[in-house]
Amino acid sequence: MPYLFTSESVSEGHPDKIADQISDALIDHFMAVDPSSKVACETLVTTGQVVLAGEVKSKAYLDVQDIARAVIRKIGYTKSEYMFEANSCGILSAIHEQSGDINQGVDRVKKEEQGAGDQGMMFGYATAETDDYMPLALDLSHKLLLELAALRRENKEIKYLRPDAKSQVTLEYDDNNKPVRIDAIVISTQHDDFDADAKMLAKIKKDIINILIPRVKARYKKYAHLFNDKIKYHINPTGKFVIGGPHGDTGLTGRKIIVDTYGGKGAHGGGAFSGKDPSKVDRSAAYATRHIAKNLVAAGVCDEVLVQVSYAIGVAQPTSIYVNTYGTAKVKKTDGQIARLVEGLFDMRPYFIEQRLKLRNPIYSETAAYGHMGRKNEIVEKEFKTPDGKVIKKKVELFTWEKLDYVPKVKKAFGIK
């Protein structure tokens, strides 16, 4: 029987995402100066205020205020009427040294014996539903907001947009679990107060439907057939949305973990990613399980898969590895047998995850908005400035967990030609 499934996304100007981006900018600066840094950094943003808190063990000294202001400025909070502005907001830092009790469970004389930074379980997911092996409803939700942000920065076709926004896409699936059409789209976007409420809301709805949607269809042609004249549009459904960003809603690091991962498909272990260095398996093992899941689907082992790994704090070897192919396996093996083969192919000890995915590099700012998964793997050069005026340039590889580099190994292990 056909069914509906919904996912949401939020823009880089959403309060929680501002917090994530500041936390990950700090991670990148620590990694650029001292790749061995151990960091767990949380950010809170509210009206005119930023609070930084967390634990750090690093040789790096950073101007955290300058880093936070640069992030806020890049997002677009540059006007005093937003009640949260890059140059004038107050920034309080309560970052202190990491607990020795925690650190003793992670550091080892032999690097390969590095223990997990915490207990817990992490999940990776992949589906053949899209070219990037991501759930379609989430993919579309991200794409809508990426295009909306582009329109805001261009400031030509739509001139009243402000940074805060959310999207939601509901898809109809057929009896074969294939998406056939978009049933509903929700867009809530912050905006200038430019007219009487009724006229303002009518124009925003018209512009979203007649400007944003055609741009998304044109840029992402593979999705164009899903759009139809029966879509239910809910554009700023509560009314005007002038008060937004941190002035409208306090933001915290790690409150958008479903947006960050698979939009409600698969599962989530509960641990946030942003603000954590890769010794924290909440982050590194979630990337590693996505890498496994994507390579399994791309190799033809199955059409959909969920991979779980779990750890005990201070212990290198995982306590379990679990695989669920949802009955889509194309090989004559049980999910348990697939899991055992996966265990032999991918070393899931924390040190080896860090090495395999090149995680001790400043690669995290790019992950902090529009999802950590399903993104483009590419090499870029990044520049960092230290408080003493030194400039550090680093060429780094982004989204290494999205590479299909293990497909040949997976095919060989599973006897797939």
How many CB atoms within 10 Å of residue 238? 7
Taking the CA of residue 112 as centre, how many other CA atoms within 13 Å lie in the half-sphere pointing to its CB?
Answer: 2
382 marked among binding-site residues = no
Q: 81 to each of 88, 151, 164, 174, 352, how far by Cα in Å?
A: 12, 20, 14, 47, 48
Distance CA 123, CA 137 (A): 19
126 marked among binding-site residues = no
Closest CA to 29 of 394, 405, 406: 394
238 phi and psi angles, rounded to 5 deg: -85, -10
Give residue 369's Cα distance to chain centre: 6
197 marked among binding-site residues = no
112 marked among binding-site residues = no
**Tokens matching residue 282:** 């909440």
411 marked among binding-site residues = no
227 marked among binding-site residues = no
255 marked among binding-site residues = yes
280 marked among binding-site residues = yes
Residue 165 identity (one-letter amino acid): A
14 marked among binding-site residues = yes
256 marked among binding-site residues = yes
Strand spans (E) along 128-209: 161-173, 179-191
How many CB atoms within 10 Å of residue 232? 10
249 marked among binding-site residues = yes
CA-based max dimension of the chain: 67
Any residues with CB less than 8 A from the CB of 150 and at least 6 apart, and which?
A: 215
166 marked among binding-site residues = yes
Closest CA to 256 of 282, 238, 274: 274
Q: 58 to each of 27, 33, 35, how far by Cα in Å?
A: 11, 9, 9
Residue positions forming the annotated binding site for Mg(2+): 16
Would you list which residues are annotated within the binding site? 14, 16, 42, 55, 98, 164-166, 240-241, 249, 255-256, 272, 276, 280
Residues contributing to the annotated binding site for K(+) = 42
Tell me the binding residues for ATP: 14, 164-166, 240-241, 249, 255-256, 272, 276
User: Which residues are documented as binding site for L-methionine?
Assistant: 55, 98, 249, 280
